[in-house]
Structure formats: structure tokens, C-alpha cells
Amino acid sequence: MAAAECVAAIVWGREGGATCEEEPAGERVSGRAGAEVGLVRSSPRCEIGADLEQKIASRDSSVSALEQFKAAGTDRYMKERSSIAVIGLSVHTAPVEMREKLAVPEAQWPRAISELCNLNHIEEAAVLSTCNRMEIYVVALSWHRGIREVTDWMAKTSGIPASELREHLFMLRDGDATRHLFEVSAGLDSLVLGEGQILAQVKQVVRVGQGSGGLGKNIDRLFKDAITAGKRVRSETNISSGAVSVSSAAVELALMKLPKSQSVSARMLVIGAGKMGKLVIKHLASKGCRKVVVVNRSAERVDAIREELKDVEIVYKPLDEMMSSAAEADVVFTSTASETLLFFKENVKLLPPVSDEVGGVRFFVDISVPRNVGSCVSDLKLARVYNVDDLKEVVEANKEDRLRKAMEAQTIITQELKRFEAWRDSLETVPTIKKLRSYADRIKVAELEKCYQRIGNEALTKKMKKAIDDLSNSIVNKLLHGPLQHLRCDGSDSRTLDETLENMHALNRMFSLDTDKSILEQKIKAKVEKAQN
């Protein structure tokens, strides 16, 4: 299989390690423009005093910038509509050495979303960080300024110069950004075509975002529609048939490197009993392996796997026996959440050599991001290291079949894309409806006051006043009924939507509602108040 990918959610601090949520794949859609940006885990160390001082300075700077922005007027922004954008990198654009630096633990997603939404021109944000991709989705008040702010934020957070990141990043806007997420969710932008774990990862973005209150209306709908697209692709096409996961590809790679006569009898060690580790064990069993040693922080997960796979002898070893277990293994699979390397050239060099029957070389198949095995281990004569990028050797097959399946899936994605864009376009009429209603209510209130003054309040009973109020409300409602009906659209009919938008612009002109400028000013005001608080 081909240009594919393990999309893995790196869930830090959980026993069993990073869960490489594997996803289906397909050919990368061409025409994606590269751009700058980058993100990495922030340093665990911080000076509280310096941090507070920096926050105050940042707030003051933000307020100053926003006040200048507000004072300068909004006319220069009126030609721009809030844009949906994605900035990121993946297995297609960046090596594992860079991807591991940019990985954002799931526990830090809410904080990242909050920081992104605090940027001057960013309204909404979401983070999709997996073992083979790091992508930031935003709704930008101003496209160019928003992208620059996110770029600066990522560079500052990662500590990686933007000039270095530019070589590996892509940046997509509006329809292209939406299509990209739908393709990711459907498994068309992955290392491995047909694996469904990326869909679970996209769902997790929604759960985490909603739990933290960080997802806005547009991003929330975007990700939910992406989930729908991913489900439809899997249920209405055979894209998942014969799919290979990252775990199975790792097993296939190891067996390819071993002598055929020893592929089943070789001594296998799996470090980490999380989702990926469990899948590795399952695939080893499916290939005929009857014994696997598993190193994990505790025995509970290993016991659960043992209960499920009764035909395989699973031997549990604690973490402090990792090196001694590696000394007795021919192939070592690693899949943990460790932020530091588990195997270095120095300690691997001390391991006893493996038997000539298995080729005399100990294999390390590292499917963790960040990596668990140092690349320098391959400098040793009797050791070889393979990481997730090396799995392309296994999945680079059946291109024609993959392209055919991807074309079927694209039809569904295009349908879902149109549905999302129609929904988003239909939102444009909401401010006009509110402004027109407010305009009419102001006239009604003013005319009622004049009427009451002419009649005299002392001459009006409560019943009479209520009758007049009801009459005025009825007249306003009936007059507005027609225009408002022509402003309401569910986005399901493109012809109706076009007419609705034409009506909206006409009403804006006729009643001088100036809706776009009013909405933008409200957003700017909200940003200023948020920064001041």
C-alpha cells in the first residue's frame, strides 16, 4: 500500500505509551502550498516571576495593538471575510525528527487552543496532533494577520526558527482547508489507507475542545462534518478492505528483514502495552508467532491482552528489566509515551549479539513519536533501527487500487464539502436578520412614544396600551415576514442560497444596516475586552 500514514494521538502520561491512532491513507492531493509554522512541547521549567512579568507585558502589548487596530477603523478589513485555515506538517512534508519536536500532548490541547484564541486575529482554534501530523485549524478575523500570528506563536512555542519550519509546513485556506480535514478524517491523507483510528482521533479533538470550551461554532461544525465524511467514506466504499495498520506494517517490516526460515521463531519483544503495543502483539500472533515478551509499567494491561489472546504466550516484564529483556530479543518493537530515548548507542552496544540464524543483527522497530530509539543505534554493526517513516517500504504497493478507492471517496467528500460550505454561507444572513429586526424595533418604539405623548399617558388604560403595543408588534411582524423569509436559508439548495445572499446585500443597502462592519467592530471590541481582562 502506498503513501500512507499512522495518525497517532500521543496521549502523554498514560501507561502503555503513546497511542499511535492509525488511519487509512491515499495519494496526497496536489496543489498544496507550503507555508511557515511549527509547534513543539514547551519546556517544563519556568520561572514564576518571569512568567508573570511576561504575561503582563504580553497583555499590555496585545491591548495596545488591538486599541490601535480599533482606532484605525475597520474599512481596510472589510474586503476580507473570516477565513478557516489549517497550518501544519505531516509525514508527507516533514521527517520524524521534526515531527517529534512538534508533537503536542493531548493534555495540552486546551491550553494551546486558549493561547491561540487569545491572539489578536484568531476567533476559533483546534489542534490535531498525532504521531504523523501536527495541524492547527483556526478561524482568522484577518487571513494574513491571523496566519502571521499563528506562525509566530508556533515558532515561539517550539523554539524552532520559522525559517527552518517553512521548508516542511503547508498552509491551506477555506475550501482547501476544509477538504484537507475531510480527507484526513476519511483516511486519504495517511500513510496507511483504510485504517480507521484517525477518525477516532478527529472525534477526540471535538471531545477535548468541547470539554475545555475552546471550540467555536465554525470549528465545531467543521470537525463534526469531517467525522460524517469519514464515516460515509468507510461505509459507502471498500476503502478499508485489506487495509494495513501501522502496527501490522511494523510487523511486516520486521518479518521482511528477518530470514524467512526464522520469521516465526525469532524472539520478539514489545515495549509498551498501549493501543499500538497491543496491535503489534495481535499482528505477530496472526503471523504465527507463539511467544511475545512485553515490557510495561505495570502488569494490568498485559494481563488483559493475555486474556484476549489465549493462543499466544505473553510474558510480562517490568520496566526495570527492559535492557535484560532486550538482551534476549532478536526484534524489539517500541511504542511508549516516553519523552526521552529508551535505547542509546552506548547501552545497545553492550547487548550480546543475536544468533547468526536470524542474521546476526538485532532489529529495533520504533513506532513511537517522539522516538524511543536513537537513530545512532544504526551505526552499530549488529543493530538496525526502523521508525514510522520506514514503513513506507511496506505500504508502497497497490497504487492503482488505492487511487481508484481514493477517487470513490472524493465524490463523497465533495458532497460533504458543499454541505459544510453552504451551511457556513447561510450564516452570513443571521447578522442582517438581527440588524433588520433591531432597526424595525427602534422605529416602532420611537413612534409609540410619540403616540403616547400625543394621547397622554393619563388617558390610556393598561388595556388600551397593551392593545396599541400588540397592534404595533403585529404590523412590524407582518411587514418583516416577507424580507426575513427571503433571508432564511438552510444551505441545502445552492440556487436558494445565492438568491438569499443577494437579498441580504440588497437589504443592507436599502436600510444602511452596515452589517459587516458592525460585526467586525463587535469582534474587535470583544478581543480588546478579553485582553484587558
CA distance 214 to 202: 15
CA distance 123 to 131: 27
Query: Would you say 320 and 295 are in contact if contact means Cβ atoms under 8 Å apart?
Result: no
Name the residue type at position 416.
E
Q: Extract the C-alpha cell encoding 73.
A: 477603523
SS3 87: strand
Name the residue type at position 242.
G
CA distance 247 to 254: 11
Query: Would you say 136 and 35 are in contact if contact means Cβ atoms under 8 Å apart?
Result: no
CA distance 385 to 365: 6
Q: Choosing from 131, 376, 451, 489, which is the catalytic residue?
A: 131
The DSSP output letter for 385 is E
Burial 13-47 (b: 16+ CB within 10 A, else e): ebebbbbbbbbbbbbbeeeeeebbbbbbbeeeeee
Q: Give the number of other CB atoms < 10 A from CB of residue 169.
A: 26
159-to-38, 98, 381 alpha-carbon distances in Å: 9, 12, 35
CA distance 74 to 122: 16
Query: Would you say 447 and 472 are in contact if contact means Cβ atoms under 8 Å apart?
Result: yes
**Does 451 participate in catalysis according to the annotation?**
no
Q: Extract the C-alpha cell encoding 407.
A: 477517487
CA distance 188 to 194: 8
CA distance 105 to 41: 8
Q: What is the DSSP string of 209-227?
A: HHHHT---HHHHHHHHHHH
Active site residues: 131
